Amino acid sequence: MLRICLVLIAALIALAPAHAQEGNLNTVLEAYRANIEKPSRTTITPVLEALVESQAPGVAVFLEKWREKELWQRKSDGRFFYVSKADGGKLMLTDIATGEEAGLADAAELDNLKPNSGVRGVIAAALVQFQLSDPDPERRLQALTALERDANQSHLSILRAAIESEQDPAIRTRKERLQRLLTIKFGFDQATRVAAIESFAGDPGVDARAALNPLLATSIQAFDAVPEGVNVARILTPGRDIEADAAYQLLVDAGKARPIVPLAERKQALVTNIRDGRVGGLPVAELVTQEARDRAYLALAADGSVPPLVTADERQEAVAGHVFAEVYAEPDAALTEAAEETLADINGTVGVYRFLDLALDGLSLASIYFLAAIGLAITFGVMGVINMAHGEFIMIGAYTGYVVQQFIPNYTASILVALPLAFAVAFLAGVALERLVIRHLAHRPLETLLATFGISIALQQIAKNIFGTQARPLTSPSWLDGAWVVNDVVSISYIRIAIFVLALVFLGLLLFILNRTRLGLEVRAVTQNPRMASSMGINPDRINMLTFGLGSGIAGIAGVAIGLFAKVTSELGSGYIVQSFMTVVVGGVGNIWGTLAGAGMIGSLQKLIEFFNPSNTLAAQTYMIIFIIIFIQFRPKGIIALKGRAAGD
């Protein structure tokens, strides 16, 4: 009844003559005062029909106010008003038709009309037709969102009428998509529904899959013979496609077979039928085995005292004498066939997009690992130093960004200041470490490893003493909030995109420094042959210091980038030190392109493993380490190995 009324309302809108005289809203309300005072789902229908037919300009606002319980009635004459608070505890009355003020009144002089939830639902359904054609685009979008959440059959004709008058291309596209979705669910014509289903072929939208999946919902049913006139998905073979016990239970539920008496009921029946210490002719003392209890129960069943048991042969015969089929809930085979084909096409598209999304995630993670590892690659390649404190330079950069934001509240400006400042602070810390420790442990890798490991612990403790153990916020600018959403499958956060761009910038900068500057030439010379470089007038100690500082400074910038999406704590860097070393080793020591290739391999591999085992990231890292160990066995010098004399060192 409700659907018929709403369709009638939509028809009245479409058929109303353009030259019709607009009715006065107050006149209509006065005519249906009793229905409005005490509305119900039945009595509200003529009110809505009259309001639509009147074409009064304030109908939409009235329906919204009525639905939101903001409609008031004056007791003295029964007129309806909107109200607002005024001075002196009074209420200001607003005329419903004109929107003009109509005087003051006490709350005692008015009744607040509060329709129940059922009436409000009917009002909301009628209100959609006004909202879909509202001059305000925002209100039209709100109406579409409401329909996407909860639509019924009556909304389909209303939505089709609203599409014709829509001028905004984006909103019109969204209306047309929703109209196709509703046609799949509520359309009357088979050809139209099939066309709507096929229109979503290759569409990865979740809403399309949500509309198609109910058409393929199935249930298992039992038939006396091969079913005809039923939309069958497949015939089931008992024992292979369905368990024999489950098949027999289907027959019991359908009244086609006798129910199996549960063991608990059989025991209770034996207890109930004990007479003079005997049950079914057997002494109670002998009922110590299930076989004896079954004999007693069968004896009781023979004289009709208890329900008879269902034998295994009887169950097998009953199952063999029936046909079991998986039946579609949708009776139209053309619709289910179209839905299956469309969903198969959609699943193929979704698979492609999932691969693309996985590739983007791997690329994003690779850019983070590249930023974290490139500094280590430079120092390791030039100096041969295993710097276990490299992660703490990442931590220093992150805390530098946090401190900057305490003085510069503008997040965009603070990040622009934090990046070069983090480089400077980490650069100086790296130079100090090289001057005070690394230089004195040259060519002693074990002592260097132990010393830098101790410095790593010391720097973490210093950070805890200064900033505490709680995570500190490093807030990204508002323009980095959210994500770039390609569709319902592929999306990537703007922060990850920014880090990827930052990694590309540093890749280009490092290539320029190493290939186009004197410092780069000297670094490459020291990397390949320190003694020959020294004989050519290059100071290896100075190059080592600058190289160590440069690597540490880049780690500081990586700390700012990582801190935008990770918690800034004293242990921040330790979470990346293992991946940094793996990136350097896999890519090839001392080679920027090798580090880039290693970061790409490590990032992609980790995301791939996490895709197959998303609930256990620790296992993903374990598998990744195992893979790298195997990889190094076959390519010990990495993906891109050094050439020349340095390759043999």
pLDDT of res. 11 = 44
Both 27 and 146 in a single domain?
A: yes
Task: Give the number of other CB atoms < 10 A from CB of residue 249.
Answer: 16
Both 20 and 162 in a single domain?
A: yes
- Which among 297, 328, 359 is the end of a domain? 328
Both 370 and 469 in a single domain?
A: yes
The rounded distance, in Å, linking the Cα atoms of 101 and 94 is 5
Mean pLDDT along residues 217-233: 90
Local confidence band at 615 (pLDDT 50, 70, 90 cut-offs): low
| Residue 304 falls inside a structural domain | yes
Both 63 and 7 in a single domain?
A: yes
Q: Which of 249, 212, 247 is nearest to 325 (CA)?
A: 247
Q: How do residues 549-577 score in pLDDT, each as one tens digit? A: 888 898 899 899 888 888 888 888 887 88
Domain tally, the chain: 3
Using alpha carbons, list the distances in angstroms from residue 484 to 46, 488, 494.
48, 11, 6
pLDDT of res. 589 = 67
| Residue 207 falls inside a structural domain | no
Alpha helices in 40-83 (DSSP H): 44-54, 59-67
- Is the pLDDT at 646 greater than 50, yes or no? no
Average pLDDT of the chain is 83
- Is the pLDDT at 177 greater than 70, yes or no? yes
| Residue 590 falls inside a structural domain | yes
- Is the pLDDT at 120 greater than 90, yes or no? no
CB 633 within 8 A of CB 586: no
Q: How do residues 53-106 score in pLDDT, each as one tens digit? A: 777 777 878 888 888 888 888 888 888 888 888 887 788 888 888 888 888 888
Using alpha carbons, list the distances in angstroms from residue 314 to 159, 248, 296, 305, 309.
57, 10, 20, 21, 10
Both 107 and 244 in a single domain?
A: no
Mean pLDDT lowest among 422-426, 432-436, 624-628: 624-628
Both 546 and 578 in a single domain?
A: yes
* 127 compared with 649, residue with greater pLDDT: 127
| Residue 136 falls inside a structural domain | yes
| Residue 574 falls inside a structural domain | yes
- Is the pLDDT at 12 greater than 80, yes or no? no
- Is the pLDDT at 478 greater than 50, yes or no? yes
Please report how the helices 494-516 and 518-528 are oriented relative to each other, as an axis angle in degrees rounded to 10: 80
| Residue 588 falls inside a structural domain | yes
Contacts with 266 (C-beta within 8 Å, 6 or more apart), sequence order: 293, 297, 306, 309
Local confidence band at 642 (pLDDT 50, 70, 90 cut-offs): low
The rounded distance, in Å, linking the Cα atoms of 610 and 358 is 10
Both 395 and 428 in a single domain?
A: yes
Using a pLDDT cut of 70, give the percent of the chain over it. 94
| Residue 486 falls inside a structural domain | yes
- Is the pLDDT at 4 greater than 60, yes or no? no
CB 175 within 8 A of CB 166: yes
Q: How do residues 430-472 score in pLDDT, each as one tens digit? A: 999 988 988 888 778 788 888 988 999 999 999 999 988 888 8
Both 298 and 395 in a single domain?
A: no
Structure tokens at 453: 């490991």
- Is the pLDDT at 14 greater than 60, yes or no? no
pLDDT of res. 548 = 86
Q: How do residues 362-413 score in pLDDT, each as one tens digit? A: 888 888 888 888 888 877 766 777 788 888 999 999 999 999 999 998 988 9
- Is the pLDDT at 130 greater than 80, yes or no? no
Mean pLDDT lowest among 240-254, 398-412, 464-478, 517-531: 517-531
Mean pLDDT lowest among 132-136, 267-271, 428-432, 603-607: 132-136
- Is the pLDDT at 591 greater than 50, yes or no? yes
Local confidence band at 647 (pLDDT 50, 70, 90 cut-offs): very low
Backbone angles phi, psi at 283, to 5 degrees: -65, 145
* 20 compared with 190, residue with greater pLDDT: 190
Both 486 and 615 in a single domain?
A: yes
- Is the pLDDT at 492 greater than 60, yes or no? yes
- Is the pLDDT at 344 greater than 90, yes or no? yes
pTM of the full structure: 0.70
The rounded distance, in Å, linking the Cα atoms of 272 and 225 is 41
The rounded distance, in Å, linking the Cα atoms of 348 and 354 is 10
Both 570 and 496 in a single domain?
A: yes
CB 498 within 8 A of CB 479: no
Let me know how long the chain is.
649
| Residue 205 falls inside a structural domain | no
Both 148 and 223 in a single domain?
A: no
Both 227 and 357 in a single domain?
A: no
pLDDT of res. 617 = 64
Q: How do residues 249-289 score in pLDDT, each as one tens digit? A: 899 888 888 888 888 888 888 888 888 888 888 888 888 88
CB 381 within 8 A of CB 591: yes
Q: How do residues 156-176 score in pLDDT, each as one tens digit? A: 888 888 888 888 888 999 999
Provide the domain limits for residue 24.
2-186
